[in-house]
Amino acid sequence: MTISEGSSDPVEPADDTAFLGHPKGLGYLALVEGCERFSYYSMQTLLTLYMVKYLMLPQHIGKVIGLDWLRSWHYQGLEGQPLSSAIFGDYTSLVYLTPILGGFIADRWLGRRTALVAGAVVMSVGHFLMAFEGAFLFALITLIVGVGLFKGNIAGQVGELYKQGDIRRATAFQIFYMAIAGSVIVAPLIAGTLGERVGWHFGFGAAGIVMVLGLLLYLKAGPWLPQESRTTGRKKVKRPPFRPGDAWRVIALVALVPVLALAHLVNQQLFNVFLIWGDQRFDMHLMSFVMPTSWLITFDALIAFIMMGGMVAFWKWFAKRRREPDELSKLIIGTSVTILGGLILVYVSAHQGAGKIPLYWPLAFIVINEIGFANISPVALALFSKIAPPAIGATVIGIFYLSFFLCNKVVGIVGQWYSSMSTSSFWLVHVGASAVALLAFVLFKVFLTHRLEGPEVDTR
């Protein structure tokens, strides 16, 4: 339930259409998530460069408190770029694990709002700690903890804006992901430029400032966010009871985690081997200007933003004429499109010859891949939110992010095969992974839909 601006009268979610036909709270949550993702992608853009070009140099590395001890047992024999990569890998992996613990803490003790506010505060502190070389490891730990408290809980609140059976839920998560895509575009341009051209700490500081703005926005959004059932004093947060079939729902969602990891594999490889291959083989001329290879990620983020908005508009248009597909059907559609994008890479790599690959081929792949991604990741998040038992809703949303943890691990393993197999075979492996995911989604749709959705859920 939300509260309309200027009134104390409660507004049921189905009647709240103040933001693009959705509850006003969705607009606030999308902006807050955009601020958090700005901070994250600022770190992702600057962290390795900062370590390789500054912090891990002999004249600076000794200032990092605790690093010598950590290198003695965890990073043995590593220095320079390999050490920087190892730290970066551990950091980016852990931020996809801690949302599970953050969700559990919210479900068991704090509630989503308190956990989310705490996460935003802790992340802000972490970004500002990056200004001090000696506090580098403490800053990373703080950021990991903050993301854990924040990430799953804000996504869970998006789902709570809608009643069971509200078809707007999947579209809401696509709008939510548009804020993320916008952050991917803006963060490297602002924080990345400040960090590389002005000073590293200015880039990290910009991320901290934006995170503080996100916290203030969230506090302002309170009247339009889902109300939590809480008691006062020393009593714990009230939790809804488990419902019949909840155990099966949790098992099914856990089983979906590796399937989603396979479905995301092509997309996540964009940040790894796709860039290496592009640096070697793509013709990066834009008229007379030769673009940096890293600009491919900027193009990808911009196209992702456009495609996410395009799919929101398309499904809204489609719903006026026919019955809109449910979440599993959209996952099937999205994975099928992803396979088509992967086949473009297979075709191009098999017929590239000795010359450079024209830029329109990777751009065509990015467009098709992002259409697929727009119907996979946000839709899967909506599905997790929809099916999650209310008693452990935030924990289940945290489980969703395990798919990205697992996918990134697989990306690193499969990426090692690039130098030992033909490029076309390399991309065919990714197409095969998407095909396995497609088959799994079809099986879920055919055999498990009725079991997953209880009688209180509108199965359309």
Checking if the pLDDT of 148 tops 60, the result is yes
CB contact set of 215 (below 8 Å; sequence gap of 6+): 32, 117, 120, 121, 124
Residue 399 in this model has a pLDDT that exceeds 50: yes
* Range 300-326 average pLDDT: 86
Q: Is residue 435 scored above 90 in pLDDT?
A: yes
DSSP three-state, residue 157: helix
pLDDT at 321: 87
CB atoms within 10 A of CB 280: 11
Coil, helix or strand for 3? strand
How confident is residue 292, by pLDDT bands cut at 50, 70 and 90?
low
pLDDT given for residue 127 in this prediction: 93
Q: Which amino acid makes up residue 289?
A: F
**Residues 16 and 24 sit within 8 Å (Cβ to Cβ):** yes
| Rounded Cα gap, residues 261 and 269, in angstroms | 12
Q: Work out the pLDDT band at 455, boundaries 50, 70, 90.
A: very low
Evaluate if residue 368 carries a pLDDT over 60.
yes
Token digits of residue 141? 């730990």
Q: What is each CA distance from 415 to 101, 277, 428, in whole angstroms? A: 29, 11, 13
pLDDT at 159: 81
Stretch 13-28: mean pLDDT, rounded? Answer: 77
Q: Which of 153, 174, 166, 173 is nearest to 225 (CA)?
A: 153
Tokens standing for residue 238:
């009230």
Specify the pLDDT at position 220.
Answer: 94
Q: What is the per-residue pLDDT for 396?
A: 80
Residue 334 or residue 222, greater confidence: 334
Identity of the amino acid at 399: I
Task: Give the architecture-level CATH label for domain 244-454.
Answer: Up-down Bundle (1.20)
**pLDDT band (50, 70, 90) for residue 177:** confident
245: left (phi over 0), alpha (psi -120 to 50) or beta: left
pLDDT at 295 over 80: no
Q: What is the pLDDT of residue 416?
A: 62
pLDDT at 459: 31
- Ramachandran quadrant class, 239 (left: phi over 0; alpha: psi -120 to 50; beta: rest): beta
Phi, psi at 79, each rounded to 5°: -155, 165
Element (H, E) at 286: strand 285-286
Higher pLDDT, 51 or 30: 30
9 confidence band (pLDDT: 50, 70, 90): very low
Confidence of residue 16 (pLDDT cuts 50, 70, 90): low
Q: What is the pLDDT of residue 11?
A: 44
Do the domains spanning 15-227 and 244-454 agree at the CATH topology level? Answer: yes
Dist. CA 74–CA 317, nearest whole Å: 53
Backbone angles phi, psi at 448, to 5 degrees: -120, -5
Position 63, amino acid: K
352 or 202: whose pLDDT is higher? 202
Residue 331: the pLDDT is: 94
* Domain positions in the chain: 15-227, 244-454
More confident residue, 314 or 273: 314
Q: How far apart are CA 417 and CA 398, in angstroms?
A: 30
Which one is predicted more confidently, 437 or 95? 437
Residue 232 has pLDDT above 70, yes or no: no
pLDDT (0 to 100) of residue 239: 65
> Across residues 416-436, what is the average pLDDT?
88
Buried b (16+ CB within 10 A) or exposed e, 50-73: bbbeebbeeeebeebeebeeebee
Asked if residue 82 has pLDDT above 90, the reply is no
Gap between the Cα atoms of 154 and 198, Å rounded: 33
Distance CA 237, CA 108 (A): 7
Question: What pLDDT is stored for residue 5 in this prediction?
Answer: 35
Chain Cα centroid distance, residue 359 = 27
Residue count of the chain: 460
Of the pLDDT bands very low, low, confident and very high (cuts 50, 70, 90), residue 263 is very high
* pLDDT at residue number 289: 79
How many angstroms separate the Cα of 453 from the Cα of each of 206, 456, 459?
A: 44, 8, 7
Supply the pLDDT for residue 256. 92
Alpha helices in 282-321 (DSSP H): 295-319
* Most confident segment among 23-32, 36-45, 309-318: 23-32
Distant-in-sequence, close-in-space partners of 446: CB < 8 Å, separation ≥ 6: none
Provide mean pLDDT across the span 276-305.
Answer: 78
Q: Is the pLDDT of residue 14 over 80?
A: no
Does 260 score more than 70 pLDDT? yes
Q: Which is nearest to 211 in space by CA: 303, 130, 136, 157?
A: 130
Given the DSSP bridges, would you call strands 285-286 and 2-3 parallel, antiparallel or unpaired?
unpaired
Q: Does the pLDDT value for residue 10 go beyond 70?
A: no
Buried b (16+ CB within 10 A) or exposed e, 232-243: eeeeebeeeeee
CB atoms within 10 A of CB 126: 26
Task: Check residue 67 and give its pLDDT.
Answer: 93
- Is the distance from CB of 281 to CB of 357 less than 8 angstroms? yes
The b-or-e profile of 298-311 (16+ CB within 10 A means b, else e) is ebbbbbbbbbbbeb
Cα 378 from Cα 384, distance rounded (Å): 10
pLDDT-based confidence at residue 238 (cuts at 50, 70, 90):
low
Beta bridge partners of 286: 289
Report domain 15-227's class. Answer: mainly alpha
pLDDT band of 288, cuts 50, 70, 90: confident
First-to-last CA distance in the chain? 23
How far from 92 is each of 10, 140, 167, 212, CA to CA, in Å?
Answer: 41, 10, 33, 22
Task: Please give the residue that has the higher pLDDT: either 88 or 405.
Answer: 405
Q: What is the mean pLDDT of residues 6-22?
A: 56
Q: Which run of H or of E encompasses 429? A: helix 423-447
Find which of 174-188, 274-288, 303-317, 335-349 is predicted with most confidence, using mean pLDDT: 335-349
Q: Which of 328, 415, 309 is nearest to 371 (CA)?
A: 309
